[in-house]
Structure 1
Amino acid sequence: MGLSVLVTGGGSGIGLAVARRLTAAGAVVTICGRTEDRLAAARDAGHADHYVVADVGDEEAVAQAVRQAHANGGGRLDGVVASAGGSGWLGPITQLPLEQWRQVIETNLTGTMLALKHAAPLMAAQGGGSFVAISSIASSNTHRWFGPYGVAKAGVDHLCLLAADELGASGVRVNAIRPGLIRTEMVAIVTEEENPILADYRACTPLPRIGEPDDVAALAAFLLGPDSSWITGQVINVDGGHSLRRGPDFSPWLEPAYGGDALKGLLPD
């Protein structure tokens, strides 16, 4: 492949799968994330060439990660995969703590924006590049009680459309991927054993298996490479068709915790 690529959130889950696939294809891969032990383990296992410890909500840390990836590529940065994300909230929006809202928006949306803000000028200066953001089908299909997560990912989608329109004149392509249920640590509580929520996911998915990180990594690698050179401003689902139906129903788990009235927006007495 011969590309120089930065992968945020590259120490685990989808980001790690992307880094592993790109490294195996011959790319020079720099990963970043908050947990040095995970990043070092990924590098030592041969899944990446370099790592930088960075919180994607910290602008200077993101800028440094971009600069380091550019230097690691010998003065080139051909691609960025913005995979850092997650959510620490599951419950009624009427009980959503403001700090949780801000944290999820910062990690998912602001972190993606910062990676794009600092990588795009380098790509534009060299005549082009490819930016790929990892979104979610929660951005397009309402996932009740997911609070800020779907909102943040909807922002990621629009950010990519906006950036693709602005940056096309410089040869910089910007696309997003919307995964469905993917077997990662973030959703292990759903995927690790049979339960009502997993059964509901399967009922909502035409291809009713759990997705794997490599399913997403394969598309990310394509969007970074030359075979996608005329593709920009697209948001592509990797979800087994789940987006054709509805979001998952978490009420079997949440109703015992919050109560049926709370799930309808009522506050406790």
Structure 2
Amino acid sequence: MMNDCSLVVGGSKGIGLEIAKLFSERGDVTYILSRNKGKWLGNHIEADLSNERNLNHVLHYIRNNKIRFKYIVFAQKNRSLPDDLDYELMIQLKSVKILVEGIAPSMEGGAFVFIGSPSGRFIVREQPLGYHLSKAALEHLTKYYAVNLGKFGIRFNCILPGTVLKESNREFYQANEDVSNLLKRITPLRMFGEAMDIVNAVDFFSSEKSRYITGQVIFIDGGQSLEGQESLARRLTFGED
């Protein structure tokens, strides 16, 4: 029995790297697709997601090497030009379309998992317009492909992480206890998430355990997205914890 073959787009660091490690540990033949390997020691496909011609070369490489993926996770981030609308949409959205439509025809079932953001639903002032637009569109893209490619046994689901402690923000929250404590107070489970909370959800959606689930967008946020603003304001003001 051949091992499943998995791909993590943007798997050189952060949650993407943790997802790639999980796939490898469970026995998948695992590739990451990114500009550089970072700390990843396994199979690497070099790619610039902002370059459509480069993405077409990636698809030719996959076909020529007869790589047949079963599970594909999109965890890429725009780390270069955060205020450039066209660049953001290319990285976060158009590259997804190109890769999905280029890879899916060779798949025999399997699943795509998109790492979205609450910015697709709510305004996060620290993020630019393009990020909000692309993350909102990603949710509908999930549903669109779930409907149109479901007949081939391919599933599509999207995860929206809440406040997750990771290498890039852990030091900030440790140094700013007031912010940390407030975030915990507005979270029904009274805790931060960890990278493994997202990884575990990806593990589920990238397995036969979720064989009858497709087109779903799910918050992994400890309940942060559940409470109305007025209720939250009253609770915090009057200490109704």
Shared fold, TM over 0.5: yes
SS of 2:33's equivalent in the other structure is strand
Can you give the 5+ residue segments of structure 1 that lack an aligned partner in the other structure? 44-48, 91-98, 248-269
Aligned counterpart, 1:23: 24
Aligned counterpart, 1:130: 111
Aligned counterpart, 1:179: 161
Aligned counterpart, 1:265: none
Separation (CA, whole Å) in 1 of partners of 2:40 and 2:95: 21
SS of 2:55's equivalent in the other structure is helix
Q: 1:23-102, aligned counterparts within 5 Å?
A: 23-36=24-37, 38=38, 41-43=39-41, 49-66=42-59, 68=61, 75-86=67-78, 100-102=84-86
Give the aligned residue type for 1:28: V
SS of 1:242's equivalent in the other structure is coil
Separation (CA, whole Å) in 1 of partners of 2:104 and 2:36: 25
Aligned counterpart, 1:141: 122
TM-score, structure 2 length as denominator? 0.82
Q: Percent identity?
A: 29
Contact 1:84/1:111, CA 8 A, preserved across alignment: no
Aligned counterpart, 1:113: 97
Superposed CA RMSD in Å reads 2.7
Contact 1:57/1:111, CA 8 A, preserved across alignment: yes
Can you give the 5+ residue segments of structure 2 that lack an aligned partner in the other structure? 230-241
Q: Per-residue CA shift, 1:3-36, capped at 9, x if unaligned?
A: 1011011001111010011100000000011234
Contact 2:146/2:214, CA 8 A, preserved across alignment: yes
Relative distance call for 1:199 and 1:118 in structure 2 (3 A) is farther
Separation (CA, whole Å) in 2 of partners of 1:180 and 1:120: 29
Q: Per-residue CA shift, 1:213-255, capped at 9, x if unaligned?
A: 21111111111111111111011111111111379xxxxxxxx
Aligned counterpart, 2:233: none
Q: Aligned to 1:159, which of 141, 157, 168? A: 141
Q: Aligned to 2:88, which of 104, 107, 130? A: 104
Separation (CA, whole Å) in 2 of partners of 1:67 and 1:226: 28
How many pairs align? 227
Q: 1:228-267, aligned counterparts within 5 Å?
A: 228-245=210-227
